[in-house]
């Protein structure tokens, strides 16, 4: 049984922004409608937020177009764009305690995680791309004949960015960083469950001096505001992070305008633990790789393959970590696990736990809702999972670890790759040859060896197969916001 942290006196962050941010102004939605954002730990309404839809997206797209074509952004030296981005990162850093609390209030993630992961990674990402702003350049190309041929990398234009709720600030930074560095302007649609930190970042962007219209934020629902971003003829590219099925809808909707698309989607990542690994480190790494952020990570190591010889020991270690895990108020700095983001997610996870039981997996720990208030799910561990069970195939997006057994190495690789996803994978072993063999053969965009969830703004991230198209972060992530122009001059 996980332990309950007693609720402390809650010091709530201030909510400054709940309206659309368009052309540098805070506006109610054109329809006047609002939606509620909920604290998932108490089920109480935190704020009423403007419910943007097609009319607001249209205004935002026009403001972004104006800023792109006429405004100071397009005329500004790249180095000055970078300077404003550094300033934004500095302002976020100055308010990091407040922003971490706001993220935890809106999303439910423990504030210690917001402070240790979301905030530093957000700041680092913006600084990394700020440094890139004046280092985006083309090539001179020796072609036949008496010509000077060179290429320029130009901003793709007005970009629509649609993000999920699991890392609201960090996903905002992953989207804004490369777009701003490249000189694009932005129409952002945050997730309806967690709009608050993205809106707060827009406020800080304005304070940093990023010109009006460069960043526009339209909160609202996917099928209305999100779909309007995808369909808008004045938006040149859509960068989307979310579910694979939503990406398929977006792709269909983009056919008419041939928008540039980049997708960061779901996963069912294999985490392979060999008997020769440092088992304590592997168990701790696998635990972190699955239960971090309440299991709501696209790259969660949710199919854990453990070699027969150490299988029982591994199960004992993870079960014991689950027993002492502290669930409670996300704003309490000692809390290790908060609630799921909303009731829908909690119910989906509980449904998968039922399927796991029905289909014959052995439930070792957890297995039910935790408490009666808030959308908490106990850290749940299933042993004796086989490859055909729903809990081994589907993305659960919750604190449910499925542990599978292996002894045959060739068979293992086939099993690990036998999924429509290909976002991430990990291998734990002391055998360097085997580590590299698996790193090469695993069909995934990221492979961690003897570690998990190591992220850096400089390291590209994205999916093989149905886990995505394109990459975010690093130089690859920047390329996705540029068009290549070839110029040939007769000499």
Point out the residues that are catalytic. 264
Count of residues near ligand NAD by CB under 6 A: 30
Which 163-182 residues touch ligand NAD, going by CB under 6 A? Answer: 163-166
Helix (H) or strand (E) holding 355: helix 343-358
Question: Pairing state of beta strands 237-241 and 380-383?
Answer: unpaired
Which 392-411 residues touch ligand NAD, going by CB under 6 A? Answer: 395, 397
Q: Which stretch binds ligand NAD (CB under 6 A): 33-41, 188-196, 372-380, 399-407?
A: 188-196
Q: What burial class does residue 131 get, using C-beta atoms within 10 Å of its C-beta: 0-12 exposed, 13-18 middle, 19+ buried?
A: middle
CA distance 406 to 237: 44
162 is a site residue for ligand NAD (CB under 6 A): yes
Nearest Cα to 469, choosing from 297, 276, 325, 254? 254
157 is a site residue for ligand NAD (CB under 6 A): no
198 is a site residue for ligand NAD (CB under 6 A): no
Contact yes or no for 386/379 (Cβ under 8 A): no
Q: Which is nearer to ligand NAD, 194 or 365 (CB)?
A: 194
State the alpha helices, DSSP H only, in 363-472. Answer: 390-393, 409-417, 432-441
Q: Which is nearer to ligand NAD, 177 or 222 (CB)?
A: 222
328 is a site residue for ligand NAD (CB under 6 A): no
Q: How many CB atoms lie within 10 A of CB 451?
A: 12
186 is a site residue for ligand NAD (CB under 6 A): no
- What are the C-alpha distances in Å from 270 to residues 48, 205, 334, 419? 40, 38, 30, 10
Q: Shortest gap between Cβ of 2 and ligand NAD (angstroms)?
A: 24
Q: Shortest gap between Cβ of 455 and ligand NAD (angstroms)?
A: 10
Which residues have CB under 8 Å from 408's CB, separation 6+?
Answer: none
CA distance 462 to 445: 5
107 is a site residue for ligand NAD (CB under 6 A): no
Site string for ligand NAD, 354-393 (x = CB under 6 A): ----------------------------------------
Q: Which is nearer to ligand NAD, 41 or 302 (CB)?
A: 302
Return the residue nearest ligand NAD (CB atom).
Answer: 222
Residues in contact with ligand NAD by CB under 6 A are: 162-166, 189, 191-192, 221-223, 226-227, 230, 241-243, 246, 249-250, 264-267, 298, 395, 397, 423, 463, 468
């Amino acid at each position: 049984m996980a332990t309950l942290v007693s609720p402390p006196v809650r010091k709530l962050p201030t909510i400054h922004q709940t309206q659309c941010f368009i052309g540098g102004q805070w506006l109610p939605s054109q329809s006047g409608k609002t939606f509620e954002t909920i604290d998932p730990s108490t089920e109480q309404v935190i704020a009423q937020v403007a419910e943007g839809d097609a009319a607001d997206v249209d205004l935002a797209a026009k403001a972004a177009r104006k800023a792109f074509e006429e405004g100071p952004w397009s005329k500004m030296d790249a180095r000055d764009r970078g300077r404003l981005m550094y300033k934004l990162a500095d302002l976020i850093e100055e308010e990091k305690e407040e922003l971490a609390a706001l993220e935890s209030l809106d999303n439910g993630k423990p504030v210690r995680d917001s402070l240790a992961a979301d905030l530093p990674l957000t700041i680092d990402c913006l600084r990394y791309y700020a440094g890139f702003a004046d280092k985006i350049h083309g090539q001179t190309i020796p072609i036949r004949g008496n010509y000077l041929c060179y290429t320029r990398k130009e901003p793709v234009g007005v970009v629509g960015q649609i993000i999920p709720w699991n890392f609201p600030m960090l996903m905002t930074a992953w989207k804004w960083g490369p777009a701003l560095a490249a000189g694009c302007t932005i129409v952002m649609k945050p997730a309806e469950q967690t709009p608050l930190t993205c809106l707060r970042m827009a406020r800080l962007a304005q304070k940093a001096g990023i010109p009006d219209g460069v960043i526009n934020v339209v909160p609202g629902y996917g099928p209305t505001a999100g779909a309007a971003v995808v369909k808008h003829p004045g938006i040149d590219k859509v960068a989307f992070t979310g579910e694979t099925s939503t990406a398929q809808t977006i792709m269909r909707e983009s056919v008419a305008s041939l928008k540039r698309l980049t997708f960061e989607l779901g996963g069912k990542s294999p985490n392979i633990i060999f008997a020769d690994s440092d088992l304590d480190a592997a168990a701790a790494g696998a635990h972190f790789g699955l239960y971090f952020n309440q299991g709501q990570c696209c790259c969660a190591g949710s199919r854990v393959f453990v070699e027969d010889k150490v299988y029982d020991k591994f199960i004992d270690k993870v079960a014991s970590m689950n027993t002492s895990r502290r669930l409670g108020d996300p704003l309490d700095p000692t809390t290790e696990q908060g609630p799921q983001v909303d009731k829908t997610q909690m119910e989906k996870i509980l449904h998968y736990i039922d399927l796991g039981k029905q289909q014959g997996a052995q439930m070792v720990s957890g297995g039910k809702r935790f408490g009666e208030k808030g959308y908490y799910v106990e850290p749940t561990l299933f042993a004796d999972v086989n490859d055909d069970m729903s809990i081994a195939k589907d993305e659960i997006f919750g604190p449910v670890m499925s542990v599978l057994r292996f002894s045959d190495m060739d068979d293992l690789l086939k099993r690990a790759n036998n999924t429509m996803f290909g976002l991430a994978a990990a291998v734990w072993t002391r055998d360097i040859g085997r580590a590299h063999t698996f790193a090469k053969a695993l069909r995934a965009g990221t492979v961690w060896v003897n570690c998990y969830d190591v992220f850096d703004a400089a390291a590209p991230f994205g999916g093989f197969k149905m886990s995505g198209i394109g990459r975010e972060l690093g130089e690859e992530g920047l390329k996705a916001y540029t068009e290549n122009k070839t110029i040939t001059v007769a000499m």
